[in-house]
Amino acid sequence: MNSPALNVLFLCTHNSARSILAEATLNHIGGGRFKAYSAGSSPRENQQPNPLGLKALQAVGIDTTGLRSKSWDEFAGANAPQMDLIITVCDNAAGEVCPIWPGHPATAHWGYADPSEVQGTEEQRLEAFRQTLLAIRRRLDLLVNLPPEKLARQLIQTTARDLSGRT
């Protein structure tokens, strides 16, 4: 019998780049074992996913339909899906006081440099997004290829944190 998908929430400050890349990538490669979401601790008013991030995802065949920037408040309410794992992907969000998450999910920090801060030509900036996407993909490949027993509720905390040291 198949286990239900693990719900994974990727957090960043604005939910426009790294967390969006991680959400789309895990949903693409997760094989039904994972359901990924993303949110920001303080997305700007009218925040949208970075167009270069969307372009990087589309270039490798990852669907960007429905991706949007949103506040982590959407995932802290009673009607929100219960998360099994919450991963911060930027150092700012890692240091912030998070909401109390229903179900007390496992947490980990996988830090990545912000590709949206890279200056230069559009091609240089797009390359920064490609490199960040590649780094995220490498770590997510490790996660999705873990045997089911490593993803058991009591082990996921340690497993996710162990992956933070790998690229």
Q: What is the pLDDT of residues 35-51, one digit of tens each?
A: 999 999 888 888 899 99
Instruction: Report yes or no on whether pTM surpasses 0.85.
Output: yes
Q: Does any domain span residue 32?
A: yes
Counting the structural domains of the chain, the total is 1
User: pLDDT digits over 74-105, tens only?
Assistant: 888 788 899 999 999 986 655 555 566 667 78
Which residues are the active-site residues?
12, 90, 98
Tokens 């949903």 correspond to what residue? 27
- DSSP output for 14-31: SSSSHHHHHHHHHHHHST
Q: What is the pLDDT of residues 2-40, one digit of tens each?
A: 678 999 999 998 899 999 999 999 999 999 999 999 999
Residue 52 is part of a domain; what is its CATH number?
Answer: 3.40.50.2300
Domain limits at 55? 6-158
